């Protein structure tokens, strides 16, 4: 059953020079056409996958940049297609400058019960470097305002920037009372203004940020439950757990990704086209998973989490054991303290989590499954 929906809203108040997501500035005609097409897509998919949905996630882009009447229409279309009653979580990504108390009241009325705020930093210099429109005081005012609402709140913090006092940022956010923090290192993609200017991320800063983040946030009762996510007990994102556990989910809107029970026993990844093609109804890209790519994906996502991967369940699902297909890798990584295997749960240790890319490269290099291709 498909019980999670991701919906992509590509419009932003401004375009940040490091951003690699599918996003653009809004104009009225375009938003109206986007909403028309999205409503069609919602109804088509509700007929195929009637739910009920456990979680809905409006990401972007900046979904809170939609006007009141646009958000009302969008969330109304979701509720008309999938009954809202019984839904466990509806998250809206929001920029600090796009809401006030009245808008928060509207969000809650529309069924949003979790806000994910793109703060990135509470320091003016770091925010200027990132090209964000808000300053530190405005960002933290928005965080506190959101925390006074009945909604659960996540705060995004970015790391690995020269001149940033990361400990100060983390403490400021944790002391505000936030019970969920997502922490991402700045990455520089070649197709962004930062990439074209030749910016680089300092790898030492990045490595230091990984440890500092867990140390500081743990003091406030916020534990790393996924490589980039920290929460107080019970405050974890329910929607993202669908990705990490390998559950199926819908992805609607331009450039959205989905994982659906289609095209074979291991399902298929579906990637919608960017806005122009999506509006024109172009067919999405379809990547059918075979047993090898399924195992690889379960390890890639599951090992990012504290929960890890249930390798007995993985064997039952795939008809092959990790011991037989990648026994050497399993031995090496556990012997070197990168992974830990207990009671059929394979998890990354703190060191392994920090070196997960290398651990997974070693997996791809070592396994003996036939026909594997990894790009």
Residues forming contacts to ligand SF4 in the complex (CB under 6 A) are 12, 15-16, 19, 21, 23, 60-62, 95, 118
Residue 191 CB, nearest approach to ligand SF4 (Å): 13
Find the shortest distance in angstroms from Cβ 44 to ligand SF4: 26
Taking the complex as a whole, the smallest distance from the CB of residue 13 to ligand SF4 amounts, in Å, to 7
Q: Looking at beta carbons only, is 85 or 197 nearer to ligand SF4?
A: 197
Residue 12 or 270: the one with the smaller Cβ distance to ligand SF4 is 12
Residue number, 118 or 267, with CB nearest to ligand SF4: 118
Query: Based on CB atoms, which residue is closest to ligand SF4, 16 or 81?
Result: 16
Residue with tokens 């990012």: 304
Residue (23 or 269) nearer to ligand SF4, CB: 23
Closer Cβ to ligand SF4, 114 or 132, answer by number: 132
Cβ-closest position to ligand SF4: 19
Nearer to ligand SF4 (CB atom), residue 60 or residue 253: 60
SS3 per-residue string spanning the chain = CCCEEEEEECEECCCCCCCCCCCEECCHHHHHHHHHHHHHHHHHHHHHCCCCCCEEEEEECCHHHCCHHHHHHHHHHHHHHCCCCCCCEEEEEECHHHCCHHHHHHHHHCCCCEEEEEEECCCHHHHHHHCCCCCHHHHHHHHHHHHHCCCEEEEEEEECCCCCCHHHHHHHHHHCCCCEEEEEECCCCCCCHHHHCCCCCCHHHHHHHHHHHHHHHHCCCCEEEECCEEECCCCCCHHHHHHHCCCCEEEECCCCEEEECCCCCCCEEEECCCHHHHHCCCCCEEEECCHHHHHHHHHHHHCCECCCEEHHHHHHHHCCCHHHHHHHHHHHHHHCCCEEEECCEEEECHHHHHCHHHHHHHHHHHCCCCCCCCC
Extract the tokens encoding 200.
Answer: 């680089």
Closest separation in Å from C-beta 142 to ligand SF4: 13
Give least dist CB 57 to ligand SF4, A. 14
Cβ 15 to ligand SF4 shortest distance, Å: 5
Give me the least distance between CB of 116 and ligand SF4, in Å please.
Answer: 11
In whole angstroms, the minimum distance from the beta carbon of 120 to ligand SF4 comes to 8
Q: 11 vs 243, which CB is nearer to ligand SF4?
A: 11
């Amino acid at each position: 059953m498909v019980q999670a929906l991701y919906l992509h809203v590509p419009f932003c108040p401004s375009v940040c020079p490091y951003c690699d997501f599918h996003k653009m500035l809004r104009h009225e005609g375009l938003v109206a056409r986007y909403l028309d097409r999205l409503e069609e897509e919602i109804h088509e998919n509700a007929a195929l996958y009637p739910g009920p949905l456990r979680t809905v996630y409006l990401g972007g882009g900046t979904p809170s940049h939609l006007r009141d009447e646009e958000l009302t229409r969008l969330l109304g279309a979701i509720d008309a297609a999938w009954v809202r009653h019984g839904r466990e979580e509806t998250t809206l990504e929001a920029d600090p400058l796009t809401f006030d108390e009245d808008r928060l009241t509207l969000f809650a009325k529309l069924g949003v019960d979790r806000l994910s705020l793109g703060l990135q930093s509470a320091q003016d210099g770091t925010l200027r470097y990132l090209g964000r429109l808000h300053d530190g005081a405005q960002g933290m005012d928005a965080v506190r305002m959101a925390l006074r609402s009945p909604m659960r709140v996540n705060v995004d913090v970015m790391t690995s920037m020269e001149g940033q006092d990361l400990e100060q940022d983390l403490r400021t956010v944790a002391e505000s009372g936030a019970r969920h923090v997502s922490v991402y290192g700045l990455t520089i993609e070649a197709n962004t203004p930062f990439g074209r200017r030749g910016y680089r991320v300092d790898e030492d800063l990045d490595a230091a940020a990984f440890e500092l983040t867990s140390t500081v946030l743990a003091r406030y009762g916020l534990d790393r439950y996924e490589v980039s996510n920290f929460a107080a007990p019970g405050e974890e994102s329910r929607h993202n757990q669908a990705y990490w556990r390998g559950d199926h989910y819908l992805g609607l809107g331009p450039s959205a990704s989905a994982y659906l029970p289609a095209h074979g026993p291991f399902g298929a990844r579906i990637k919608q086209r960017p806005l122009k093609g999506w509006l024109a109804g172009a067919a999405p890209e379809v990547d059918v998973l075979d047993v090898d790519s399924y195992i690889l994906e379960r390890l890639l996502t599951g090992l990012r989490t504290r929960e890890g991967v249930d390798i007995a369940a993985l064997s039952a699902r795939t008809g092959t054991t990790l011991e037989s297909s990648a026994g050497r890798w399993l031995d090496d990584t556990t012997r070197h303290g990168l992974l830990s295997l207990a009671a059929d749960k394979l998890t990354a240790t703190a060191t392994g989590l920090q070196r997960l890319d290398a651990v997974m490269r070693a997996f791809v290099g070592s396994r003996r499954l036939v026909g594997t291709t990894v790009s």
